[in-house]
Amino acid sequence: MIKKEKIIKDNIVKFPSKLTDLEKEIEAVIFAAAEPLDIDTIESKITKKGSVAKSLEKLQHEYSQRGINLVCIKNKWSFRTSPNLSKIMSQEKTVEKKLSRAAVETLAIIVYHQPVTRAEIEEIRGVAFGTNTLEILMELNWVKPGGRKDVPGRPIQYVTTDEFLSHFNLQKLSDLPTIDELGAAGLIDSSNIDNAIFGTGKFYKEKQEEKKEDIYSNIDEMLNSTLDTEEKD
């Protein structure tokens, strides 16, 4: 019986010592403040007399083991969440960001005509573009360098990545998304995109070796069938 009483006694939660009226006022003033307060400001808001500095030290000690701490930064006091609990208080937020028109057109050209060089991309678009356009696509891990073209200067060629296929839920390049699908994904405003970029005559045409598997023939067939349907309509 004695042992049981001892266990109960040892497990009693020890609450902070009783606060004085002065300490309660200081606690309330700091808690209600929209920004950290210095001692002079605190003194101007309380009615009880006493050492504000000593009361702040006591309150700081009382809150040191709690989920909320009383901290002093640059001589100003405020309540802050305990650093030990910062992880559970953090919140991740996904921010959707649409690609620029230049990035979308560049991506479409690379997707449908890879491997393709920067010069070829500019020829197809009919306008030069900044290096940041390609950098954005590479940061998304949708595009990567795919070797160099065997021509004078050996320019870098760009191709899509497996991450690109995975993002658009594609098994192969012949399952490429249409302009409407890209718009539905929220990546582009399809009403402001030149449909020609997606395969109606502005793409750079290059002969493929007959020995190689011509994956682009499937794409051309898909595009041509789409165009035939549009003409019939």
- Report the C-alpha gap between 65 and 68 in whole angstroms: 8
- Residue pair 118/127 in contact by the 8 Å Cβ criterion: no
Range with top average pLDDT, 24-38, 111-125, 153-167: 24-38
- Helix 101-113 to helix 131-139 angle (10° resolution) is 70
**How confident is the model over 171-192, as pLDDT tens digits?**
777 777 666 766 777 666 555 5
> By mean pLDDT, which of 66-70, 182-186, 228-232 is the weakest?
228-232
Residue 104 in this model has a pLDDT that exceeds 90: no
Query: Which domains are present in the chain?
Result: 21-84 (1.10.10.10), 101-205 (1.10.10.10)
- Report the C-alpha gap between 169 and 22 in whole angstroms: 64
Shortest CA distance to 79 belongs to which of 31, 149, 32, 137? 31
Residues facing 200 on adjacent strands: none
Give this prediction's pTM.
0.41
Residue 28 in this model has a pLDDT that exceeds 90: yes
Place of tokens 């060629």: 157
Residue 222 in this model has a pLDDT that exceeds 80: no
- Residue pair 79/63 in contact by the 8 Å Cβ criterion: yes
- pLDDT confidence band for 206 (50 / 70 / 90): very low
Average pLDDT for residues 204-226, to the nearest whole number?
Answer: 42
Place of tokens 């395969």: 199
